[in-house]
Amino acid sequence: MHTGDRSSFDGSNVRLRWELAIVLALSFGASGIYAIVQIIERVTRDTALSDQAATINRTLADRPLFDLIYQLLGFAFGLAPVALVIFLLWRTSRPHLGGLGFGRLPGARRRWWAPEIGGGFLLAAAIGIPGLAFYLFAKGIGINTTVVPAAIDAYWWTVPVLILQALRAALGEEFIVVAYLFDRLRRLGFRPWAVIGISAVLRGSYHLYQGFGGFIGNVIMGVVFGWCYHRFGRVLPLVVAHWILDIVSFVGYAFAVAWWPELFGAPATE
């Protein structure tokens, strides 16, 4: 009987490992591999890393209508991995997304989300201001590219699309890299700080295309977000904080370039 239980346990762990590998291969694990190749390609160029640019959101078609269609398709299909982890961790009883740290808990007040949104704003402020200072420092010492958050032509739909792209990034990273990854690694027997570390390094890896500063900064952000999730078990504050940070970055980039071109202006080299 003991041997049978052990075999069942091992089989379950193998299945979880395969599931985890597949989910990451369809999402941020693949992005991390591509980013590692990108940083190797960047540092082996003749152009210094600090003289290169990394663009996050760019124009996808010459005609505005098709650019908009491509942008919206990217948003919709970019949420497919999020839908996958929701499907995998969906519970038949409420809260249905309790395994992801989302939803109203038994006994919680009706407006359960209000303090979590407020916490997200506070977390965004705590991360955003030091994060901007670290980006400028990393760029100044030559270990980071100039990050161009948005290079989309100005149309009536540009700001709404950038807000949607920020939402896609926030939902994807926090649901998969934090909530889903934490659930699966815990089930596999990893200790809390190991889970936080793995999540943080994964977050840093797929930002390597920006440079080593992007990697370090996002690892630090990952540790903070991971600790918050471990401490409180709630993903909504992380999504809100990430969404705010990306909205400010994507939408505010044009103003930053206009006001401080020497700091935020992009060099010619991509």
Tell whether 35 is covered by a domain: yes
Domain that holds residue 157: 14-264
Tell whether 157 is covered by a domain: yes
| CA 158 from centroid of its chain's CA atoms | 21
CA angle 176, 41, 214 (to 5 degrees): 45
Predicted pLDDT of residue 268: 52
Tell whether 270 is covered by a domain: no
| CA 19 from centroid of its chain's CA atoms | 20
Tell whether 1 is covered by a domain: no
Q: How confident is the model at residue 263 (pLDDT cuts 50, 70, 90)?
A: low
Cα separation of 132 and 134, whole Å? 5
Tell whether 5 is covered by a domain: no
Which of the pair, 253 or 238, is modelled with greater confidence? 238
Tell whether 269 is covered by a domain: no
Tell whether 4 is covered by a domain: no
Tell whether 98 is covered by a domain: yes
Start-to-end Cα distance in the chain: 61
Average pLDDT of the chain to the nearest whole number: 92
Looking at the 3D structure of the chain, how many domains does it have?
A: 1
pTM for this structure? 0.92
Question: Above 50 in pLDDT, residue 1?
Answer: no
Contact 29, 39 (CB under 8 A): no
Which strand (E) or helix (H) includes residue 119?
helix 113-140
